[in-house]
Structure 1
Amino acid sequence: MIFKVYYQEVASEVPVREKTKAMYIEAETEEEVRKKLSGHGFNIEFVQKLEGKYLEYEQNHQNYQLEQF
């Protein structure tokens, strides 16, 4: 499964919408995604499972790239 992770790069800062970034990660569960990202210092705001037409839309977007952790 592919998950889209919304995050802030620095966990110690207050989340600001304009600084929110997104990355795509392949994993079996949301818990696995969070384990992969633990220790990287990100402030994870939301993890969203992508499937169906929404996944197709994201894959056709120019910023789509699976991250390897």
Structure 2
Amino acid sequence: MQRAVERVIQTYGLLTSREAAEQAQVKVESYIRTLFEAGETDDNRLTVCGLVYLRELDGSNDPVKAGFTGL
């Protein structure tokens, strides 16, 4: 589980800034711990889920914020 958290923070730091990644570490640790306790043990899946979670929190996955209007 800890390896997945480290990979998420490292990758998210490349996508945003290192400071933003460090600030998000507590949130992603809690989220990944929840997934792990629910039975997910694959480090790769935990990493991807953690990245998706952080991208949703910062609004990066929102098509409206990204400028998509559907036209």
Q: Which has the higher contact order (CA 8 A, sep 6+)?
A: 1
- TM-score normalised by length of structure 2: 0.31
More strand, by proportion: 1
TM-score (norm. length: structure 1): 0.32
